[in-house]
């Protein structure tokens, strides 16, 4: 029985940052999926992982990330890549969140590079974040998806068992540990399809 619904942010409630990455790759003449390749190389210890746990600052991240690219024979502009992280809200997903939050406790599980409280968040984004009962940020809790502890923090904060949760994310690597813990998982590619799966999982009309 579902008792809580957990959402990722980028790529779920907003358009995917990988769309911005793809545009940059085309603009810079880089092979397709260069950024995805870099992020998946040593994913627990690379520059991106350290940045999301706030183990390094922006300047250090940029140096490390560009060094990692150079090791693969590539030249990237890390600052330009960071600029593509902010996507556009998906109104249909926001409405699905709104309806879920009226019936269930909800949590936002996001890997980010600085606490939301420290950033310059647009009002429309802040309104979405305020819908959640619990917000778990990698830059705050010093661990990140797909580390199991990240999901445990969310469940503990909501007072639920993992087996009572539905979790939406756009990356399979982030869904795998959640599923192993017993969560019902939904991979978000096509938002309409994901909303249909969520509707069936929670027994609500969300569209």
- pLDDT 10s digit of each residue in the chain, 207 long? 899 999 999 999 999 888 899 999 999 999 999 999 999 999 999 999 999 999 999 999 999 999 999 999 999 999 999 988 888 999 999 999 999 999 999 999 999 999 998 888 889 999 999 999 999 999 999 999 999 999 999 999 999 999 999 999 999 999 999 999 999 999 999 999 999 999 999 999 998
Angle between helix 191-202 and helix 91-101 axes, rounded to 10 deg: 10
Q: Give, in order, the Cα–Cα distances in Å from 85 to each of 22, 71, 162, 198.
A: 12, 23, 29, 25
Q: State if pTM tops 0.85.
A: yes
The upper half-sphere exposure of residue 116, i.e. CA atoms within 13 Å in the direction of its Cβ, equals 19
Query: What are the residue ranges of helices labelled H in 72-166?
Result: 78-82, 91-101, 123-129, 138-141, 148-158
Cβ neighbours for 129, distance < 8 A, ≥ 6 positions apart = 108, 116, 121, 135
d(CA 187, CA 171): 7
d(CA 149, CA 14): 25
Highest CATH level, class, for 4-16+87-202: alpha beta
Where do the structural domains in the chain lie, given as residue ranges? Answer: 4-16+87-202, 17-82
Give the pLDDT score at 143: 97
């Amino acid at each position: 029985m579902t008792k809580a619904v957990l959402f990722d942010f980028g790529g779920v409630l907003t358009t995917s940052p990988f769309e911005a990455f793809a545009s940059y790759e085309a603009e810079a003449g880089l092979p397709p999926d260069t950024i995805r390749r870099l992020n998946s190389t040593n994913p627990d210890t690379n520059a991106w992982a350290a940045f999301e746990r706030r183990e390094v600052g922006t300047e250090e991240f940029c140096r490390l990330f560009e060094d990692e690219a150079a090791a693969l024979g590539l030249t990237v502009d890390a600052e330009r890549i960071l600029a593509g992280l902010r996507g556009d809200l998906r109104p249909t997903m926001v409405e699905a969140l709104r309806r879920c939050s009226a019936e269930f406790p909800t949590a936002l599980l996001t890997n980010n590079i600085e606490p939301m409280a420290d950033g310059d968040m647009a009002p429309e984004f802040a309104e979405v974040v305020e819908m959640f009962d619990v917000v778990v940020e990698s830059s705050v809790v010093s661990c990140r998806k797909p580390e199991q502890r990240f999901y445990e923090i969310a469940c503990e904060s909501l007072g639920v068992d993992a087996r009572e949760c539905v979790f939406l994310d756009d990356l399979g690597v982030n869904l795998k540990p959640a599923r192993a813990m017993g969560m019902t998982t939904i991979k978000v590619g096509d938002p309409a399809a994901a909303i249909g799966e969520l509707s069936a999982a929670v027994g609500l009309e969300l569209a």
